[in-house]
Amino acid sequence: MGVKVNAQSEGEENDYVKAVYELSRLFLERTVRPWLHLDFIWRRSRFAARYKNALAAVHTYSREVIRDRKASLEAAQKNTNPESNDGETFGVKKRMAFLDLLLQSNQAHKIMTDEDVREEVDTFMFEGHDTTTAGISWVFFLLALHPEVQERVYEEIESIFPPGDNRPATMQDLNELNLLERCIKEALRLYPSVSFFGRTLSEDIQLGGYHVPAQTIVGIHAYHVHRDERYYPDPEKFDPDRFLPENTENRHPYAYIPFSAGPRNCIGQKFALLEEKSVVSTVLRRYRLKSVRTREEQKIMHEIITRPMDGILLYLETRKQGQI
């Protein structure tokens, strides 16, 4: 969003991040208590006020981000020389943050209200930061447990970044990391960032011999879909080659749904994969990973996000330049 929040700085406690975690917890509290599904009871429960406060904090933060970026864009627009040919637009580089692009487009076409923009910002900020973080954690964990795969990934990285080449990865570099992408996809199969989600039926359907009426909420469990032995033999095995082109061309398109599927799939899935490839490749260029725990010892928390309980514990061993 083009805004620095210092969320990873020591001693910093970001109100937005705390509110997101609170909303996640309260969502689960309501989900597992059927009586709280009724708004009449929910509004009178001890959770409702906490939920309202957390939601207000999230929306307030998003509105402040939007307000600040709008002010920056307007100020830059006033100070920009129209005849300037230095590759800048509205005083900022043409490769702008997502929010700047959204605001600039809306300034030109007036399609959305400020609240519409806020909803788009909420989608990217709320859905994007925690899912990708969890996904990266699981990739590190699985690569640490499979040193032979990790070294193959490092060889791929080294073919693009020779020893001593410390430049940041470009988009072209990331697109060439095919094995790493397969590893990320396999990690998302085993540990989908969102392991379950719901859909409301728009019409009556027949499902498994049963009549299911329209407006029924159907729960879809990606965690279990990804372990269907018809499509994934030995489903608990970490095998990135499952995602080689010859192994995916005849697979049912809904057998792999870490980003959901259909018209309501994840709007940021390509961006998420690029984020994960960027972070994971940067770490592997410098370190060799070893895991403290086995898969059996690593507990999972199935909240809104599939999190590793107590985090992922790893050893990082510095790589020597020119050695694998």
- Contact criterion met (CB below 8 Å) for 285 and 157: yes
Contact 281, 198 (CB under 8 A): no
Q: Report the C-alpha gap between 184 and 142 in whole angstroms.
A: 10
Tokens 């403290």 locate to: 292
CA dist 93 and 78 (Å) reads: 15
For residue 302, pLDDT over 90 is answered with no
Residue 266 annotated as binding site:
yes
CA angle 192, 272, 254 (to 5 degrees): 45
Tens digits of residue pLDDT in 77-128: 777 654 444 445 444 455 677 788 888 887 777 788 888 888 888 887 777 7
CA triple 313-315-320, angle to 5 deg: 155
Q: Where are the domains of the chain?
A: 1-75+96-111
* Nearest alpha-carbon partner for 312 in 126, 130, 136, 127: 136
Position 270: which residue type?
K
pLDDT in tens, 164-210: 788 889 999 999 999 999 999 999 999 999 998 889 999 999 998 99
Q: What's the whole-model pTM score? A: 0.83
Residue that is written with structure tokens 């725990």 in the block: 293
C-alpha neighbours within 13 Å on the C-beta side of residue 138: 27
DSSP-assigned beta bridge partners for residue 218: 199
Amino acid occupying residue 161: F
